Structure 1
Amino acid sequence: MDYQHILFDSRDGIARLTLNRPERLNSFNVAMHLEVKDALARVAADRSVRVLVLTGAGRGFCAGQDLSDRAVAPGQAAPDLGESIEKYYGPLVLGLRRLPIPVICGVNGVAAGAGANLPLACDIVVAARSASFVEAFCKLGLIPDTGGTYFLPRLLGSARATALAMLGDKLSAEQAAAWGLIWKCVDDEQLAAEVDVLARHFASAPTLGLARTKQALQASGLNTLEAQLDLERDFMRELGRSADYREGVAAFMEKRAPRFTGA
């Protein structure tokens, strides 16, 4: 696919996907959804990729849905927003969650609506100090989508999640980090370097172990303790037979840096 609305690059084990509609604050239209879907499929199919970096071009990360893409003119039938979730936003969230590699999100500016919840589907979120998160749905008579009603109460608790969803107040990156919504807030000029350090770390990390860690943490929200212990047993049995575990033990015994291959 010839990308017009995103930038995509993959090298040295690191895939980078940049939302690239800066004139619209990287808001989603159907064309951009299709391009992101294609890029994620490429990442999933390429075993040389060991980490994905997601960010936005220009002064904002993502302003959510481009409302001009589905504006309701007088006399026209209302759009089916449920279809939009079913065809685009739902698969986008699941695609990020199911990738068997770490996903880093660098939030470089305003993240509003679907753009505020998209980072929460990633594994590690680093935001620039000038960035902010806005659950703007209530101002349109809607609910937080793109996994918002799932992620917010799990990350923030009921009281904070409810207030953010119902008031639509702006949450600063610094406050988001303090509340545990994201991993870290850094000065604007440090964002790219911070994300790059993480990406290079994961590109040489034990990828299979990280994939199973990601899966186990996601499963814990629904599993009983007994079921989670069984899952830990199964994953540890598998990982104990991996080349990366063998290398990790050898490196520890030999007092040297490990050379993980992701196998």
Structure 2
Amino acid sequence: MKAQYELTTPHSTLRVTTPGPGIVWITLNRPHRLNAIDRRLGAELCAELERRFADHATRVVVLTGEGRAFCAGDDLGAVEEHLRGDRTHSPVVGDTADPIYLRIIEMMVTARAPVITSINGFAAGAGAEIACAGDLRIAASTARIGSGLLRVAQAGSVAMLGRLVGPARATEIYLSGELLDADAAERAGIFGRVVPPAELEAVTLVEAERLARSATAAIGLFKELRERCVGQPVEMALRLQNSVHIRNNAEVADAREGAMAFLEKRDPHFVGR
């Protein structure tokens, strides 16, 4: 993929490119550590996501990994240092006990722009939760995903994974201690689409280009509605949905263009507002 702009600074843990209008492509770039999250990677990714999501020019974000892993979760070496009292590389926010991956997922889920996770290799622990936070999840046929936390005597991998497969299946995945292969993950609904590894980048880019041309302001309202409807009784969820319909007509400029294009039997030209 040839990027229009190369935004990487030397020795960065990320590679950031813009392969098309409105598309931000972020690659986790610690392949020697399987793209595991230490303080630097986490801080750089949080800062990049915050900046990009605040920019109205961003229509879609793609998150993927360099090398054979998407993300192996928290860097266990940095976690071990943390347990010994050295927080220099710890994957937490500042002096808090708040893991950085929580902030990453919160931004992905609540962002008004859609997020595609392009899962190039294995994803475990916090990395699996980040993969599951994508609005679209496209994976290579060689990718694997799961918890793996039981092997290191940790609990977790249920908040996002459980939203996709339900609590019972998430429990089975956790208790197995193993990673699902791509076919099993697709059958479970974790991966939305599985493609040959050589086609992953191209297929992901096609989807990113499609979303970048779409009514992304409406997508943002949909994501907000999705989060507000979780756990609500049907009566409340329906009224929340109707309130968003009303806001959509008042706030989304593309709504008029969509209606006019439909009536005039032409393709719409959306600007993401």
Q: Would the TM-score normalized by the shorter structure come out above 0.5?
A: yes
**1:126 to 2:126 alignment:** no
Q: Which structure is higher in helix share?
A: 1
**1:54 to 2:63 alignment:** yes
Q: Secondary structure at the match of 2:241?
A: helix
Alignment deviations for residues 48-71 of structure 1 (CA, whole Å, 9 cap, x no partner): 111000000112111111111232
What is the alpha-carbon distance in structure 1 between the residues aligned to residue 271 and residue 97 of structure 2?
A: 37
Q: Secondary structure at the match of 1:240?
A: helix
What are the residue-to-residue correspondences of 1:161-200 with 2, within 5 Å? 161-200=170-209
Unaligned runs of 5+ in 1: none
> In the alignment, what sits opposite 2:39?
30
What is the alpha-carbon distance in structure 2 between the residues aligned to residue 183 and residue 112 of structure 1?
A: 18
What is the alpha-carbon distance in structure 1 between the residues aligned to residue 99 and residue 155 of structure 2?
A: 17
Alignment deviations for residues 137-173 of structure 1 (CA, whole Å, 9 cap, x no partner): 11111012xxx22223332123321111122112011
**1:108 to 2:120 alignment:** yes
1:43 to 15, 36, 52: 52
**1:4 to 2:12 alignment:** yes
Q: Secondary structure at the match of 2:142?
A: coil
Structure 1 residues 82 and 9: CA distance shift in structure 2, 3 A:
closer
Unaligned runs of 5+ in 2: 1-7
Q: TM-score, normalised by structure 1?
A: 0.91
What is the alpha-carbon distance in structure 1 between the residues aligned to residue 164 and residue 99 of structure 2?
A: 26
What is the alpha-carbon distance in structure 2 between the residues aligned to residue 66 and residue 101 of structure 1?
A: 28
**1:250 to 2:260 alignment:** yes
Alignment deviations for residues 114-147 of structure 1 (CA, whole Å, 9 cap, x no partner): 1111111111100000000131111111012xxx
What is the alpha-carbon distance in structure 1 between the residues aligned to residue 214 and residue 36 of structure 2?
A: 33
What is the alpha-carbon distance in structure 1 between the residues aligned to residue 97 and residue 179 of structure 2?
A: 24
What is the alpha-carbon distance in structure 2 between the residues aligned to residue 150 and residue 108 of structure 1?
A: 22
What is the alpha-carbon distance in structure 2 between the residues aligned to residue 78 and residue 12 of structure 1?
A: 43
What is the alpha-carbon distance in structure 2 between the residues aligned to residue 89 and residue 151 of structure 1?
A: 12
What is the alpha-carbon distance in structure 1 between the residues aligned to residue 200 and residue 85 of structure 2?
A: 43
Aligned CA RMSD, in angstroms, stands at: 2.2
CA shift for structure 1 position 253: 1.4
What is the alpha-carbon distance in structure 1 between the residues aligned to residue 240 and residue 15 of structure 2?
A: 37
What is the alpha-carbon distance in structure 2 between the residues aligned to residue 203 and residue 85 of structure 1?
A: 36
Residue range with higher mean Cα deviation, 13-22 or 236-245: 236-245
CA shift for structure 1 position 178: 0.7
Residue range with higher mean Cα deviation, 152-161 or 50-59: 152-161
CA shift for structure 1 position 16: 1.1
Structure 1 residues 45 and 78: CA distance shift in structure 2, 3 A:
closer
Residue range with higher mean Cα deviation, 51-60 or 148-157: 148-157
**1:150 to 2:162 alignment:** no
CA shift for structure 1 position 87: 4.5
Q: Secondary structure at the match of 2:214?
A: coil
CA shift for structure 1 position 218: 2.1
Q: Alignment identity in percent?
A: 32
What amino acid does structure 1 have at the position aligned with 2:27?
A: T
CA shift for structure 1 position 81: 8.6
**1:211 to 2:214 alignment:** no
Q: TM-score, normalised by structure 2?
A: 0.88
What amino acid does structure 2 have at the position aligned with 1:56?
A: G
What amino acid does structure 1 have at the position aligned with 2:271?
A: T
Q: Is the 2:74–2:91 contact (alpha carbons within 8 Å) kept by the matching residues of 1? A: no
Structure 1 residues 5 and 77: CA distance shift in structure 2, 3 A:
closer
Q: Secondary structure at the match of 1:226?
A: helix
